Amino acid sequence: MIRRQYGHMAEINVTNLVDVVLVLLIIFMITAPMLQSGIDVNLPQTRTAIQDELGEGVVLTIDAKGGIFIDDIWVRMPDFEDRLDAVLKEKNTSSVYIRADSTVIYASVVNVIARMKEMGIEYLGLVTSPVDSDDIPKRN
């Protein structure tokens, strides 16, 4: 009787590797849109809108109904200063970026800005979206 000896197989099973990679790709494609957080607001459009991502700082959002959100967490107006101060200390920053819906009453935004100035916040940015090139009037 002849005995066969099998050698060690040192190859990667590519089929299984491809299957695992494709499953992971599908999972990430499905979950990535769900990871985006934020309050949906219709930002005013300007020609000088900043295209870059927001830097280090706290994002303060005022939605169309006048609700105030500090880093996506709703805050009542009486608790506004305390919550904003706590978040600023937690992030160790002094920058605040305001995202206000274009339909929000101007007085609401000014009131929030005035309260932040009273708190001593000096670094304040207004977030806008860029104007479509079709909407820009042409100069002669």
DSSP assigned state of 54: P
Cα–Cα–Cα angle for 41, 85, 129, nearest 5°? 25
List the pLDDT tens digit at each of the 140 positions of the chain: 677 777 777 777 788 889 999 999 999 888 877 665 566 666 666 665 454 445 578 889 988 888 899 888 889 988 889 999 999 888 888 889 988 888 888 888 899 999 999 988 888 888 877 776 555 555 55
Residue 103: helix, strand or coil by DSSP?
A: coil
Amino acid at 13: N
All domains in the chain, ordered by first residue: 45-130 (3.30.420.270)
* Secondary structure element (H or E) that encloses residue 82, with its range: helix 80-91
